[in-house]
Each structure stands twice: as structure tokens, then as C-alpha cells.
Amino acid sequence: MAIADILHELEHHPRPCDKEGLKKSIRDALIHQAGKDPLEATPRDWLEAVSYAIRERLIERRMFTQRLFNREHVKRVYYLSMEYLIGRMLINSLLNLGFYEACREALSEMGVDLLGIAELEPDAALGNGGLGRLAACILDSMASQCMPGYGYGIRYEYGMFQQQIENGQQIEHPDNWLRYGNNWEFPRPEKIYRVRFYGRVVTHRDNGNLRHHWQDCEEVIAMAYDHPTPGYGNKNVNNLRLWAAKSTRDFDLNYFNEGDYIGAIQKKAESETISMVLYPNDATAIGRELRLKQEYFFVSASIQDVLDHHEEMGYRITELPDKVALQLNDTHPAIAVAELMRLLLDKYQLPWMSAWEITKAVFGYTNHTLLPEALETWPVEVMERVLPRHMQIIYDINFHFLNEVRHTFPGDTEVIKRLSIIDEEHGRQVRMAHLAVVGSHKINGVAALHTKLLESTLFHDFYRLWPERFVSITNGITPRLWLHQANPALCALISEHIGRDWVMDLSQLRALESFADDPKCREEFRAVKEANKRRLADLVLERTGIRIDPNAMFDVQVKRIHEYKRQLLNILHVIAFYNRIRRGEAGDQTKRVVLFGGKAAPSYVRAKQVIRLINDVADLINHDPMVNDRLKVVFFPNYDVSAATVIIPAADLSEQISTAGMEASGTGNMKLALNGALTIGTLDGANVEIRDAVGEENMFIFGLTAEEVAETRARGYRPRECYQENAELKEVLNMIGSGFFTPDDPARYGDLVDDLLNNDAFLVLADFAAYVQAQEQVDALYTDREDWTRRAMLNTARMGYFSIDRTVQQYAEEVWGVVPECWI
Ligand SMILES: *Cc1c(COP(=O)(O)O)cnc(C)c1O
């Protein structure tokens, strides 16, 4: 068959997507791919078979999408991210492709339960928290909106660790997510690039031009694995390309011929460690050499791949900004600025100025945090040793940049020190955020308040220099996962009233506002919430052995455990509430379940201590007969995307209580409000915009503002005064500090309480009274179920702005300059 015939066949007879067609594919895959006799097939074999069947259909559409983009010569955006927190693929793919029902029926006729086997799929947890989940939401949105958008990242052998709770403490287990293989990906053994490390730079003169050669390097091969990502309700399928490290020793027989066979294999294993494991740190920079190598490894492979494609398309290198946008998801891939410069200078031999103009025109940089401990810096010594040519280029970038600064601020030597890419005051460090800002034409914060703080604090000098580079693009979440998939009962209710188009145009939810005043609709909405709560109660019982009452208020704080997120404030209130119950002062009959979930970085001692405290408190309260179900405390182990899809639709109250000014955006806040939880929160991150959208009367805002936090700190904050002035707080801290919850180890939390009284860097005590007061309002409102439900419905109705589709449209227009291209 000639190529033309194959193409014709593919175009006119793609894999059928009806029930019978799927059934045949699944059966074929079970026998011929999985190699299983249908008589003996286990649920996992069926999962494998169905994934193969779906993957066949994904790849066909992927090919058409790719050909369309090539034919139309579109500009493409490449999203560079160290993390993708994806979760499971099966149900999401089926819903996006539109053959969920057909597949469910096909399986059912073969005696297999779709939802049952879907539970067996491991989460693709190639990320820590919000930053990685944002990347996954952006991929979904780019495909759903027909954007020519590509993800690049690392195919970690081990993703985010699995959290177990033993004796109240977090235990980490490796996440061997590839144990049973990965039936969604396409390995591309022919898509390989050499990535170099170490060595030295040799310079020579060629016709008066300086030429640089990077020599005597160690080399690693980056091999591509492609993950087709389907859009919702269209036929476009985009691609996420993840790189795995392979040793060059496979390709270099000499090493084996030297006679040291075992040594050669050992070297091979060493170079393959680059893509072995995700660093489990959220909002903290890790100064380890392997981390720098991971960053450069995936950046170098990705940029080589981008430039290869650019050449294959027949474009000139100077046309790069017309065809390519590169987005840096935080500073983790910021070395890309130097890598692109290196290729433009050393490979394409462009003059400095044109290389630099091209580089600036293609890069955009998203900042995710103001926390000092999260700002990446690399010792010059390390950078020079690992990436010697890049260090030279960074020096040159800095030289030109500082000349521009001198021109703008003549005579100001302090501003030079503050702006320099090299920090000279802390033992010569490369400031990756500065490299990212200098090398990008657009820099964005992830919420309005965050961008404002970037402009006024962290990047203030840059903002004075280039105000036009700064834009604010508030994060969003994909409605496909966080409503359509996670909350089918609510979706059915919504669609019954306003049709189905909201999935791709979330602002349409506003039409639900009027239903909030209809008692019958409120009844239906409440019934959905109660069903979701029963589903969660079953899961909590299964995972923790704790029985919770679906009629209680579900008060939920799920997110990474971090001091600035203030799980401590929450548990202090839990104890205060417990004391009121014991004294008979708790007033009304509101029952509460306070549910926590989240992982602590394995080396973050204080965060792990907070997990233990929550469990110690839970243990005592849950077994106190005086409490008698008025209050239950649950720590839900191993919070991940799959857990989130069950917990979030069941929440009544969403805890978003970070110290104001410290949470860049938050996206958990959006998922919960969209699913009809009322927020108790500080004016931080996107909470501010959520308040503007849903109305202050439909939330519980409390505590110091970002400005007041700064003033309090500047005045000299004395937490002990809060303790002295507030009898309830005093009692709570005395209980923790004296071992009330840990009689067998009374000193366990002595240092924690001391720290709160003497430092309290996150102003927990300063906000305690306001928080308790806000919680009283929560209790009061919850006794009026009609009013509560009305406000919950208004939350859902008014959250349309926080769709990731709006976020991606803003990036496309304000940063990337790409436009949608759909095939029908
Ligand atoms: C959304 C999400 C996060 C981010 O939650 P925040 O409350 O914004 O910190 C973290 N982990 C998982 C699994 C998520 O789905």
C-alpha cells in the first residue's frame, strides 16, 4: 500500500468510537497486546486493554492535529515545567473524547465495571502541588481550546512519594507508578538528544569572531516519551513530551570493550539517575547538583527538539519569535535562557544582539512565589563546573544588562547590586529569577495581589526598569476535571437547568444564580452535596477507620503542609472548639468534621510535626465520649489528585487561611468554591478575587491583610501579647505545651509552642481571635441550611472567571501570541 493509500485509509476509516468498535478494540488489545486469555483476565488486564484501545484513538487524532498545525504554519507555544500533577488518565480521556458512555457499555457487556477498573490506575503524580497541577490544567485547556500547545517535562521513574500515617506520623514510600507499565505513553527511542555536563570551554578566533567549543563533557541521552492529551469536545489531541535519561554507554561500545563490563554498567546506571525521582519539596529551592542537572537536562532536550522542528519546517532561525513561544513555569527551567543563547551563538553563529533579541522575544516567565526560601540560586562555582559555557553566557548577559541599568539609573551602585544576576553578598550565587526576568519579554504573577506584591517588593527594581513587561494572569482550574469529572451529580443538576455548554464556557454558570432563590432547586443542590458527603464518608472509613456523619458540616483543609498555609491555626481552633464543647459553651447543635489532607516535604521537620499534632489531637477528641460526634477530626492520608476529586465535591467549608501576602494564588480555593463550598479565608492570593466574584457576604473573610501583616512585622510583632490577652488561646497553647494530647510524651510539642510564643513568623496568634470569630459565624450560618445552601449555590454560579480557559486565553493574547487552530 502506498503512503497515499495509508493516509486515505486513516482519514476515512479511523478507529470507530461507538460501543461495538470499542468493544472489538478492547478485546483485541486484551488478547494481542496484554496477551491475556479473556477467561483469566484480571481487572488490571482489562484496564490495560482499555487504555490501549483509547490510546489508539488518541494517536490517530494526534497525527491529524499535528498535520494541521504543520499545514497552517501556526505559531506554537511550548510549556516548560519540571512538574505535571496529572492524576489518572482513563476517565478524563473518555470524558474529553466523548466516549465515556460507549466505553462503559462496551465493558459492561463484557462483564467489566469501568469505574471499578479505573480505580486501579496509579496517579501520574509528577508534581508536588499547585504548581504542577496548574501545568496539568493548562495542558487540558490548550487542547480543549485547540491551541498549538506542547508540554515538556521529565518522565520521573518515581513521582511524588506515597504518604502513610503510622502512629500519627508521616512515613514516605517510593511512588513506583510505572510498576505495571504505562499504557498511555509512546516511547520514542528515535527521538533522542545528547545533553552535556561538565567539561571546559575552548575559545578561538574565526575571521575576527570569537568561537566557543564546549569540550571533554559527560554526555547523557534524553529520550522522548509522548503522552497524547485530548481536548474536550473537539478532535484535537496535543502532546506532552517527557524526557527520560539514558546512558550514552548504550551507544558507545568502547566503554564495554575496555574490559570493565561491570564498571560500564554502573556508569550507565549513574547517568540514568537524572530522571529517577521528583524532588518532593514544595515552595523550597533545593541546592543539590542533581537538581541542577535535572533542570538543564530537560531544558536542553526540549530546546533542541523545538529548534529541530523549526528547521524541519524550513523556517529561518531569525523567524523563531514568529513561530515559537516558550513559557517558563517558575524558575526551574530558567537555564533555558542561557541554553537558547548558547545554541543561537555557538551553533547558529548569530551575533550577540540578534541572539538576545530573539531570546527575549520567545520567553515568558511565570513567578509562583515570593517566599525567600523558594527563590532558586546556584553557587557560581557549581554552575561553572556543571555548565561552564552557560556560566560564561550568564556573565555576558549580566554585563549587557547592567550597562542598561547604569544608563537608566546613573550613579546608583546599590541598584546595580540589587539587580545583578549574580548575588555577590551571599558567596556569589546565580539568581535564577533575575535570569528569567532579564531574558523574558513578559513576566507574570498568578493573582492580582501576587502581581502587585511582585511589582512593589521582590521585582520592584525590575518593575521600575521595565513596567511594560509585567502582567497579572490569575490562575484557574479545568472545569473538565474539577466539576465535570469529579462531581457528576452536580453536573447533571447544572446541565438540567442551563444545558451542557458551561463545560467549555464556565461563565455560563452565572445563569444558576436565579435558582438559588428556588427552594426546590436548593433541595436538589443539597441532595447532591449529601450524596457526595456519603461517598467521602465511605472512603474516610476505608482509609482511616474513622466513622464520620454525612449530616455534619464537612470542614476541609487539603493542600501541602506548610507553615505559611497555617494548618496550625486550624488545629488551634479545633482545640478551642473542643474546649467549648466540654464546657457546654458550644451553643447550637452544629456538628463538624474537620478534615485535613496534605503531604509534608520529608525534610521539613516542623511540617511533619504539625501532621503529628493533628493526629494526636484527633485521637483524643475522636475518643472522648463527652464530644459524642459533635466534632470529629480526620487526617486523610496521601492527599493526591484522585483523593481531591472525592474530597472536594463533599466539602461544605473551604479553609484558605494562609498568612496574607504569602499564598501566591492558590487553586484549591477555586476547586472548592466551584463545587459549592463556602470559603473561610484571609485576603490572600486569589481569595481576593474570589471575594470580588462571589461577594463578601458569601464567604467568611477574616484576619490581617497583606499590608497589616507587613506593618505588624515592621512594628515588632510580639506573639506572647496575644497569648496573654486571650484566655481561650492561652488555654489551647497550654494544653498542647503541657502534653494534654500526649500524656505519654508531654514535652513533644514544647518547642512548637515556644516558637509560637516567641517568634510566630506566620502570625498564627495574631489572627487567632479573628479566626475563632469567623468560625462562630460559620456555625451560626450552618444552622440555617436554606441560607447556607443559597450561598453555596451562589459560589458555584459565580466562579466562572476561575476557569483555566480564561487563564490560557490571557497567556495566548498577552504573552504568547498564539491562536487556536481546530480540525473538525
Ligand atoms: C489543587 C491541588 C493542590 C493545590 O492546592 P492549594 O490549596 O492551592 O495549595 C495541591 N495538591 C493537589 C493534589 C491538588 O489537586
DSSP code string of 80-121? E-S-EEEE--HHHHHHHHT-HHHHHHHHHHTT--HHHHHTTS
**Residues 339, 390: contact at Cβ < 8 Å?**
yes
Helices and strands, counts by H and E, the chain: 34, 24
**Alpha carbon of 101 to ligand 1 centroid (Å):** 29
Give the SS3 label for residue 379: strand
Q: Whose CA is nearest to atom 5 of ligand 1?
A: 668
The x, y and z cell numbers of residue 453, run together, are 506584591
What are the pLDDT digits (tens) for 433-488?
Answer: 999 999 999 999 999 999 999 999 999 999 999 999 999 999 999 999 999 999 99
**Residues 577, 626: contact at Cβ < 8 Å?**
no
Mean pLDDT over each residue of the chain, to the nearest integer: 96
- Give the CB-side neighbour count of residue 93, counting CA atoms within 13 A: 28
Is 479-778+785-802 the same fold as 73-88+123-474+809-816?
yes
The answer to whether 565 is a known catalytic residue is yes
**CATH number belonging to the domain at 479-778+785-802, selected among 3.40.250.10, 3.40.50.2000, 3.10.450.50, 3.40.50.1100:** 3.40.50.2000
**Residues 649, 487: contact at Cβ < 8 Å?**
yes
Which CATH topology does 73-88+123-474+809-816 take?
A: Rossmann fold (3.40.50)
Q: Whose CA is nearest to atom 4 of ligand 1?
A: 130
The residue whose CB lies within 8 Å of the most ligand 1 atoms, and thus the one to mutate among 369, 558, 595, 658, is 558
**Alpha carbon of 730 to ligand 1 centroid (Å):** 32
Going by C-beta distance under 8 Å and a sequence separation of 6 or more, which residues neighbour residue 154? 82, 126, 242, 243, 244, 275, 278, 294, 297, 298
Give the strand pairing for 377-379 and 429-431. Answer: antiparallel
pLDDT at 588: 67
**Residues 244, 223: contact at Cβ < 8 Å?**
yes
The residue whose CB lies within 8 Å of the most ligand 1 atoms, and thus the one to mutate among 560, 563, 663, 674, is 560
Q: Which atom of ligand 1 is nearest to the CA of 558?
A: 7
Q: Whose CA is nearest to atom 1 of ligand 1?
A: 668
* Residue showing cell 505513553: 185
Q: Which atom of ligand 1 is nearest to the CA of 667?
A: 8
Phi–psi pair at 732, nearest 5 degrees: -60, -50
Per-residue pLDDT at 1 exceeds 70: no
Q: Which atom of ligand 1 is nearest to the CA of 85?
A: 13
The residue whose CB lies within 8 Å of the most ligand 1 atoms, and thus the one to mutate among 559, 595, 669, is 559
The residue whose CB lies within 8 Å of the most ligand 1 atoms, and thus the one to mutate among 126, 133, 648, 671, is 133
How many angstroms separate the CA atoms of 375 and 351, rounded?
Answer: 32
User: Hey, where are the domains in the chain?
Assistant: 1-72+89-122, 73-88+123-474+809-816, 479-778+785-802
The answer to whether 671 is a known catalytic residue is yes
The answer to whether 559 is a known catalytic residue is yes
What are the pLDDT digits (tens) for 215-273?
Answer: 999 999 999 999 999 999 999 999 999 999 998 866 566 666 677 888 778 888 888 99
> Nearest Cα to 226, choosing from 196, 250, 190, 195?
190
> Nearest Cα to 610, choosing from 772, 720, 769, 764?
764
Per-residue pLDDT at 594 exceeds 90: yes
The answer to whether 36 is a known catalytic residue is no
Q: Which atom of ligand 1 is nearest to the CA of 641?
A: 13
Q: Whose CA is nearest to atom 7 of ligand 1?
A: 668
Helix extents (H) in 313-387: 320-323, 336-342, 352-362, 380-386
The answer to whether 267 is a known catalytic residue is no
pLDDT at 255: 64
Q: Catalytic residue, from 284, 451, 478, 667: name it.
A: 667
Per-residue pLDDT at 91 exceeds 70: yes
pTM of the model: 0.98
pLDDT at 209: 87
Per-residue pLDDT at 324 exceeds 80: yes
Give first-to-last CA distance, the chain, whole Å: 26
CA 676: distance to chain centroid?
22
**Alpha carbon of 663 to ligand 1 centroid (Å):** 12
Going by C-beta distance under 8 Å and a sequence separation of 6 or more, which residues neighbour residue 61? 14, 228, 230, 235, 236, 237
The answer to whether 13 is a known catalytic residue is no
Q: How many CB atoms lie within 10 A of CB 72?
A: 12
CA distances for 506 relative to 498, 503, 509, 698, angstroms: 11, 6, 6, 19
pLDDT at 532: 98
pLDDT at 251: 59
**Residues 147, 820: contact at Cβ < 8 Å?**
yes
- Mean predicted confidence (pLDDT) in 663-667: 98
Say if ligand 1 is within 6 A of residue 29 CB: no
How many angstroms separate the CA atoms of 593 and 16, rounded?
Answer: 47
CA 528: distance to chain centroid?
28
3-state secondary structure 206-263: ECCEEEEEEECCEEEEEEEEEEEEECCCCCCEEEEEEEEEEEHHHCCHHHHHCCCHHH
Say if ligand 1 is within 6 A of residue 668 CB: yes
> Nearest Cα to 390, choosing from 496, 468, 450, 300?
300
The x, y and z cell numbers of residue 62, run together, are 494526534
Per-residue pLDDT at 383 exceeds 80: yes
How many angstroms separate the CA atoms of 42 and 46, rounded?
Answer: 7
**Alpha carbon of 675 to ligand 1 centroid (Å):** 15
Going by C-beta distance under 8 Å and a sequence separation of 6 or more, which residues neighbour residue 718? none
CA 648, 654, 655: angle at the middle one, nearest 5? 125
